[in-house]
Amino acid sequence: MRLTSAIRAALIAVTALFAAGLSSAQADSGSISLTIYKAGWVIGGSGGGGTLNFRGRNYALSAGGIDYGLVFGGSKTVLRGRVSNINRPSDVAGVYGAAGAGLAVGGGARAIVLTNQKGAVLELSGRQVGLMANLDLSGLAITLK
Q: How far apart are the C-alpha atoms of 89 and 83, rounded to whole Å?
A: 10
Element (H, E) at 16: helix 2-26
Domain ranges of the chain: 28-144
Walk along the chain (145 residues) and give the pLDDT tens digit of each residue.
454 554 555 445 445 444 444 444 578 999 999 999 989 887 888 999 999 999 999 999 999 988 777 778 898 989 999 999 999 999 999 999 776 666 667 777 778 888 999 999 999 998 888 887 777 667 789 999 8
**Residue 36: predicted pLDDT:** 92
Q: How far apart are the C-alpha atoms of 58 and 51, rounded to whole Å?
A: 6
E strand intervals along the chain: 28-54, 57-86, 94-115, 121-144
**Residue 31: predicted pLDDT:** 97
- Give the contacts of 23 (CB within 8 A, at least 6 positions apart): none
Rounded to two decimals, the pTM is 0.74
Q: 124 near 84, Cβ under 8 Å? A: no
| Amino acid present at 122 | L
Which value, in Å, is the radius of gyration of the alpha carbons in the chain?
20
User: Yes or no: is domain 28-144 CATH 2.40.30?
Assistant: no
